[in-house]
Structure 1
Amino acid sequence: MTTTSAPRKIPFFRMRMFRSLVALSVALAGTACAPRSPWLLVRSQASHTSEQSSPEVTETPRYLELLPRIRSIAVQAPDYCANRSAVASTGAARSAGTVLSTNCGVAMGELERAFVKAGYRVISWRALRSMVDSTQVTPSVAAQKLGAEILFQINSLQKVKVQPRVQYRWDRQFLGMDKHGRRLNGEGVLLSEQEGADLISMISPHEIEMGRATRLGAALDAVAMTADSGEALWFYRWTMFEPVDETRTVEVQAVKGKRGWEKRHVIYPRSPGAEGGPQQHESASLAARAGNREDQKYYGLMQQVVQNFVKSFSANGAAGASAPRVTPAAAGPPSPAVAVPAAPASPASPVPEAQ
Structure 2
Amino acid sequence: MLAAVVAFTGCSNRYLLISKFVAKPQAPQAPEILETPTYLAEHTKIKTVAVRAPDGCSNRTTDESTGSAISKGAIMRTTCGVEMAELEKKLAKAGYRVISWKVLEREMSNKVSATEAAGSLGAEALFQINSLERSQKHIGKDALWEREFYDTNESGAKIREHAFDDPTRAYFKKQYFDQFESNVDLERLAITLDANAVFVKTGESIWYYRWTYADPAAIDYRKEVLVKCKSDNRDCADFKPRSQNPIEPKMTVAGESEAVSVTEKPEDKKEAMYAQLLSTVMSDLVRNFSK
What is the TM-score normalised by the length of structure 1? Answer: 0.57
Mark the CA change 1:67 to 1:208 in structure 2 (over 3 Å): closer, same or farther: farther
Q: Deviations along 1:49-100, whole A, 9 cap, x unmatched? A: 442111111111121122132222110012223879xxxxxxx9759xx867
Aligned-residue CA RMSD (Å): 4.8
Is 1:72 aligned to 2:48, yes or no?
Answer: yes
1:243 counterpart SS class:
coil
Matched residue, 1:152 = 127
Mark the CA change 1:164 to 1:187 in structure 2 (over 3 Å): closer, same or farther: same
Quote the Cα distance in structure 1 between the aligned partners of 2:149 and 2:58.
58
1:300 counterpart SS class:
helix
For the Cα contact (< 8 Å) 1:219–1:239, is it kept in 2? yes
For the Cα contact (< 8 Å) 1:46–1:249, is it kept in 2? yes
Q: After TM superposition, give the deviation of residue 296 of structure 1 in Å.
A: 2.2
What is the TM-score normalised by the length of structure 2? Answer: 0.67
Quote the Cα distance in structure 2 between the aligned partners of 1:190 and 1:79.
62
Matched residue, 2:242 = none
Quote the Cα distance in structure 2 between the aligned partners of 1:46 and 1:136.
57
Q: 1:235 aligns with which of 204, 208, 221?
A: 208
Q: Deviations along 1:285-312, whole A, 9 cap, x unmatched? A: xx79x65222222222222211111110
Is 1:195 aligned to 2:166, yes or no?
Answer: yes
Within a 5 Å distance, the mapping from 1:1-355 to structure 2 comes to: 21=1, 25=3, 28=6, 42-46=17-21, 48=23, 49-81=25-57, 94=73, 101=79, 104-133=80-109, 135-163=110-138, 172-175=147-150, 186-188=158-160, 190-191=162-163, 195=166, 199=170, 213-250=186-223, 269-271=251-253, 276=258, 279=261, 292-315=268-291
For the Cα contact (< 8 Å) 1:72–1:123, is it kept in 2? yes
- Percent identity reads 31
Mark the CA change 1:113 to 1:272 in structure 2 (over 3 Å): closer, same or farther: closer
Quote the Cα distance in structure 2 between the aligned partners of 1:313 and 1:73.
12
Number of residue pairs the alignment of both structures matches: 266
Structure 2: which 5+ runs fail to align? 61-70, 235-249
Q: Deviations along 1:13-62, whole A, 9 cap, x unmatched? A: xxxxxxxx2xx536747998xx986x977522235544211111111112
For the Cα contact (< 8 Å) 2:30–2:211, is it kept in 1? yes
Letter in 2 for 1:269: M
For the Cα contact (< 8 Å) 1:77–1:108, is it kept in 2? yes
Matched residue, 1:321 = none
Letter in 2 for 1:226: F
For the Cα contact (< 8 Å) 2:51–2:104, is it kept in 1? yes
Mark the CA change 1:210 to 1:54 in structure 2 (over 3 Å): closer, same or farther: farther
Greater radius of gyration (CA): 1
For the Cα contact (< 8 Å) 2:49–2:96, is it kept in 1? yes
Q: Deviations along 1:176-221, whole A, 9 cap, x unmatched? A: 69xxxx99874456336x6399759x69999997897111223221
Letter in 2 for 1:52: P
Mark the CA change 1:58 to 1:211 in structure 2 (over 3 Å): closer, same or farther: farther
2:29 counterpart SS class:
coil
